[in-house]
Amino acid sequence: GLRGSAGTRFPLAELHCHIEGAAPPPLVERLAARHGIDVSPIIADGAYVWQGFSGFLAAYDLAASVFKSEEDFADLAHSHLSGLAAQGAIYAEIFISPDHARASGIEPAIYARGLAAGIERARGETRIEARMVVVGVRHLGPDAVEMAARFAAEPGRPLITGFNLAGDERVGEPRDFERAFDIARDAGLGLTAHAGELCGPQSVRAAIESFRPARIGHGVRAIEDAGLVSEIVEKGIVLEVCPGSNLALGIYDDIKAHPLKQLVDAGVRATVSSDDPPFFHTDLSREYRLAAQNGLGEAERIALTRTALEAAFVEEDVRRALI
Ligand code: ES4
Ligand code: ZN
């Protein structure tokens, strides 16, 4: 339940973290050396270096390419979730990308099996619960995104409970990806989509209209349109807000300028997440601290966790045991 835990006064939960984006630079350097891959363009002095959103995506793609085996992915999920549990997290969703798996030379089914094994191992050691959300990469085009949806919708994929649209929000229109979301919805998967991060309110409106998602990734730029904020409140759509990511990408200049508190005050159901933690020099505990610096009191920060559990793409019996 929502009582205390190690390190924090209340448990944490996150809904928005890309698994390859959680890879620590030293691990990426070690695997890169094993495979003869040069990661010096993206890692310096033990930290990722990149500029701008396109530079970030390119750095992410190169870091992801050093993970090649089922065991590599089991270890990655296990270390990510063990780290979250040590921060006081009791639930996490990870975004997984069949396109990144294929680019690394591994079958998506083997990739997902390795990640599932890492989740089970972390749960056995720390009791943290986790589920996987398959992403389609929008700048790879509608056919690739539809393939990702078909992969997610295939019966018998343990721990895969959702579908998401990621990649460069500036490329394409939500209507281009409606068929992918129809496939995921028909399979009973939870639906979420990145919108309102690099692009403004119109991108969020279009994503809501085209996908009918339960959640929006980021969505923060909805604040620029009061009517849209009302629609998000009325529909009960949950925002996966990633303040540290927004600061690292320069969406907002400082935490005082971030709209999280304004969205919460307007009645929006919000959660916080780390997105790609080492790339953005953050982790989940810092996201909760950023929420405090943005003006959320302790009760409002506890509500971030409660909302994450309520909006989790997880079986009802597991949800009830966590809340
Ligand atoms: C993303 Cl494809 C992808 N990977 C990692 N982070 C992202 N943010 C938006 N798209
Ligand atoms: Zn993201």
Residue 289: which CATH number? 3.20.20.140
CA distances from 86 to 83, 125, 261 (A): 5, 11, 27
Atom in ligand 1 nearest the alpha carbon of residue 276: 6
pLDDT on residue 98: 99
Q: For residue 63, what are the CA distances in angstroms to 21, 60, 75, 135?
A: 8, 5, 15, 17
* Mutation probe of ligand 1 site: the residue of 57, 163, 198, 275 with most atoms within 8 A of C-beta: 57
Q: Mention every residue, 6+ apart, whose C-beta is less than 8 A from residue 314.
A: 91, 129, 131, 161, 322
Decide if 2 is inside a domain: no
Cβ pair 194, 164 in contact under 8 A: yes
197 catalytic residue (yes or no): yes
In this predicted structure, what is the pLDDT of residue 172? 98
Ligand 2 centre to CA of 167 (Å) is 8
SS3 50: coil
| 3 within domain boundaries | no
Which tokens go with 310?
Answer: 């309520």
| CA atoms of 50 and 199, how far apart (whole Å) | 20
CA of 16 to the centre of ligand 2 (A): 6
**Does residue 1 surpass a pLDDT of 90?**
no
Q: Is residue 4 part of a domain?
A: no
Sequence letter at residue 68: K
Task: Return d(Cα 298, Cα 179) in angstroms, integer.
Answer: 41
The answer to whether residue 168 scores a pLDDT higher than 80 is yes
- For residue 231, CA distances in Å to 217, 236, 241, 283 come to 16, 8, 17, 30
> Is position 253 within any domain?
yes
In this prediction, residue 158 carries a pLDDT of: 97
pLDDT over threshold 70, residue 7: no
Number of domains in the chain: 1
Q: How far apart are CA 105 and CA 196, in angstroms?
A: 32
DSSP notation for 161-228: EEEEEES-TTSS-GGGGHHHHHHHHHTT-EEEEEESSSS-HHHHHHHHHHH--SEEEE-GGGGG-HHH
For tokens 């943005």, what's the residue? 294
Q: What is the largest CA-CA distance in the chain?
A: 53
Average pLDDT (155-181) is 98
Q: In this structure, are residues 56 and 50 in contact, taking their beta carbons and an 8 Å threshold?
A: yes
* pLDDT higher than 90, residue 3: no
Task: Give the pLDDT confidence score for residue 163 in this predicted structure.
Answer: 99
ipTM of this complex prediction, to 2 decimal places: 0.95
To test the ligand 1 pocket, which listed residue (104, 139, 249, 276) has its Cβ within 8 A of the most ligand atoms?
276
Tokens 């997902």 -> residue: 112
Model confidence pLDDT, tens digit, residues 46-89: 999 999 999 999 999 999 999 999 999 999 999 999 999 999 99
Tens of pLDDT, residues 106-161: 999 999 999 999 999 999 999 999 999 999 999 999 999 999 999 999 999 999 99
Residues flanking ion ligand 2, Cβ below 5 Å: 275
Q: Is the CB of 111 under 6 A from ligand 1?
A: no
Which residue is it, tokens 């990510």? 80
Q: For the beta carbon of residue 26, count every other beta carbon within 10 angstroms.
A: 11
In short, whether 63's Cβ falls inside 6 Å of ligand 1 is no
Domain that holds residue 129: 12-322
Share of the chain above pLDDT 90, in %: 97
pTM: 0.97
Residue 1 resides in a domain: no
| Position 20 pLDDT exceeds 90 | yes
Residue 218, pLDDT score: 99
The average pLDDT across 196-223 equals: 99
Hey, CA dihedral for 101, 103, 107, 108, is it positive or negative?
positive
pLDDT confidence of residue 2? 61
Across 315-321, average pLDDT: 98
- What's the confidence (pLDDT) of residue 4? 56
| 216 close to 192: Cβ distance less than 8 angstroms | yes
Q: Which two tokens stand for residue 307?
A: 């909302």
From the candidates 70, 197, 240, 287, give the one annotated as an active-site residue.
197
Amino acid at 151: F
Distance in Å, CA 191 to ligand 2 centroid: 14
% of the chain surpassing 70 pLDDT: 98
